[in-house]
């Protein structure tokens, strides 16, 4: 059987199956950017390969997936970080016109090209760690023109670099100053003008909102979910990050791909997510940076069989983080996840959180050939180290 490339003498963590799908003497063959075979060398058909790569016993995992980022934004919030170190709270800063709205001002002032240029170093940091798919949210434009500009900049990242981009429209991230006393009016604009424009221009793969005391209410969120659902767009939600608004249960009712953060999630929310198959995307970088002390209900999520994903939440306010490998370590140390759970969180379950489980996230025939090849002795090393990067090579779409 002919193939384009063949990786031999590899150890595989296919992530297909609950035990990481470990294979000691593994082989992967790629044709036209897709996996033609991934499994034991002994069971492989005879391949006639244009190129053969000897992995010398290195480990191969699926290319990593960062399924929740706000990586497109202008400026930074180091000054607010200083204020927080002096005792101000995130909510106080937000209510005083800082927070998300301060990044909104910088992002509105930036051109599309400037947003791309600002995001690329962050994208490159993820790519250098074996990341092959990145989700990117809007949400710092907060008007139609600037939200579309952010989403176009996000799409551009995928043409500037060998990486897949999933875009999420997050118009309901914060209330822009023009609508200071009219949250319902802003939601009407998001549902009636911004969302249709994003869909018309093919710029949104999903819709997200910030359902929170300092964000939008469950009722307002539901209006957006209705509009997205009418347009056949999948939904996700920033839920239960700072308080319990019962957002995850609402998201589950709309068949959400994921509910994200979840520190204040209750039992009813866990049960609703389990029933709907909604992924719990946990963001330990934000938990750490905000010095949150309340843990997401990990044992309950696990017991209910809710798939758990992990992501950077890369954003200038609550998680200025561009290392998915550090997120793996934080998932284990802060959230008590096992090595298998951490790795599933940035591969199989992250794919599911993007609605792309048929396409990426495991090493299986038919999926896109996105690989990370590691200089490690065992998969646990990817989770164990802090600040090290054992990536040997990264393959995106077979290249
Ligand atoms: N939750 C978060 O952690 C980020 N957005 C959100 O809804 C924070 C974004 C920011 O502070 O800029
Ligand atoms: Fe976020």
- Residue 46 Cα to ligand 2 midpoint, Å, equals 46
Paired sense of beta strands 22-31 and 2-13, if any: antiparallel
Residues whose CB is less than 8 angstroms from the CB of residue 19 and which lie 6 or more positions away in sequence, other chains included? 340
Taking only the tens place, the pLDDT of each residue in 188-221 is 999 999 999 999 999 999 999 999 998 999 999 9
Distance, in Å, from the CA atom of 103 to the CA atom of 99, rounded to the nearest integer, reads: 7
Q: Whose CA is nearest to atom 4 of ligand 1?
A: 318
Q: Which ligand is nearest to the CA of 173?
A: 1
Question: What pLDDT, on the 0 to 100 scale, is given for residue 95?
Answer: 84
Residues contacting ligand 1 via CB (< 6 Å): 70, 99-100, 103, 173, 210, 238, 241, 286, 313, 315-318
Which atom of ligand 1 sits closest to the CA of residue 317? 11
Distance, in Å, from the CA atom of 164 to the CA atom of 394, rounded to the nearest integer, reads: 13
C-alpha Rg value of the chain to the nearest Å: 21
Locus of tokens 């990586």: 71
Name the residue of 73, 95, 100 whose CB sits within 8 Å of the most ligand 1 atoms, as the mutation to test its pocket: 100
CA distance readout (Å), 262 to 115, 212, 347:
29, 11, 20
Q: Which residues neighbour ligand 2 (ion) by CB within 5 Å?
A: 313
Q: Whose CA is nearest to atom 9 of ligand 1?
A: 317
Taking only the tens place, the pLDDT of each residue in 124-181 is 999 999 999 999 999 999 999 999 999 999 999 999 999 999 999 999 999 999 999 9
Residues whose CB is less than 8 angstroms from the CB of residue 273 and which lie 6 or more positions away in sequence, other chains included? 248, 249, 251, 252, 259, 280, 301, 304, 306
Q: Which ligand is nearest to the CA of 80?
A: 1
3 state DSSP class of 283 = coil
Question: What pLDDT, on the 0 to 100 scale, is given for residue 91?
Answer: 87
- Residue 318 Cα to ligand 1 midpoint, Å, equals 6
Name the residue of 105, 313, 314, 316 whose CB sits within 8 Å of the most ligand 1 atoms, as the mutation to test its pocket: 313
Q: For the chain (length 399 residues), average pLDDT per consecutive 10?
A: 96 92 97 98 96 98 99 97 94 89 97 98 98 99 98 98 98 96 97 98 98 96 98 98 97 98 98 98 98 97 98 98 98 98 98 98 98 98 98 97
Locus of tokens 């301060």: 102
Name the residue of 173, 213, 291 whose CB sits within 8 Å of the most ligand 1 atoms, as the mutation to test its pocket: 173
Which atom of ligand 1 sits closest to the CA of residue 319? 3
- Residue 37 Cα to ligand 2 midpoint, Å, equals 36
């Amino acid at each position: 059987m002919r193939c384009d490339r063949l990786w031999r003498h590899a150890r595989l963590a296919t992530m297909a199956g609950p035990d990481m799908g470990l294979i000691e003497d593994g082989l992967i063959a790629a044709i036209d950017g897709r996996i033609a075979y991934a499994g034991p060398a002994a069971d492989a058909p005879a391949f006639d390969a244009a190129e053969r790569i000897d992995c010398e016993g290195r480990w191969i995992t699926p290319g990593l997936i960062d399924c929740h980022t706000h990586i497109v934004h202008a400026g930074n919030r180091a000054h607010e970080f200083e204020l927080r170190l002096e005792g101000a709270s995130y909510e106080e800063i937000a209510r005083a016109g800082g927070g998300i709205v301060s990044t909104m001002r910088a992002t509105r002032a930036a051109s599309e090209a400037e947003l791309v240029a600002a995001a690329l170093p962050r994208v490159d940091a993820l790519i250098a760690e074996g990341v092959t798919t990145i989700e990117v949210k809007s949400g710092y434009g907060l008007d139609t023109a600037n939200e579309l500009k952010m989403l176009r900049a996000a799409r551009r990242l995928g043409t500037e670099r060998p990486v897949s981009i999933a875009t999420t429209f997050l118009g309901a991230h914060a209330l822009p100053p023009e609508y200071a006393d009219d949250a319902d009016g802003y939601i009407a604009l998001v549902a009636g003008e911004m969302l249709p424009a994003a869909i018309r221009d093919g710029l949104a793969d999903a819709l997200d909102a910030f359902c929170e005391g300092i964000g939008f209410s469950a009722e307002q969120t539901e209006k957006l979910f209705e509009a997205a659902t009418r347009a056949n767009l999948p939904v996700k939600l920033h839920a239960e990050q700072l308080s319990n608004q019962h957002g995850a249960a609402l998201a589950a009712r709309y068949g959400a791909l994921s509910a994200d953060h979840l520190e204040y999630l209750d039992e009813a929310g866990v049960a609703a997510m389990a029933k709907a198959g909604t992924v719990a995307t946990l963001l330990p970088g934000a938990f750490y940076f905000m010095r949150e002390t309340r843990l997401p209900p990990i044992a309950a999520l696990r017991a209910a069989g809710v798939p758990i994903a992990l992501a950077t939440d890369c954003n200038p306010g609550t998680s200025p983080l561009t290392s998915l490998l550090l997120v793996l370590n934080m998932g284990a140390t802060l959230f008590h996840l096992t090595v298998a759970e951490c790795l599933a969180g940035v591969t199989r379950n992250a794919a599911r959180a993007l609605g792309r489980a048929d396409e990426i996230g495991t090493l299986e025939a038919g999926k896109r050939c996105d690989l990370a090849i590691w200089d490690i002795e065992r998969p646990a090393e990817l989770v164990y180290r802090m600040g090290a990067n054992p990536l040997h090579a990264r393959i995106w779409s077979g290249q």
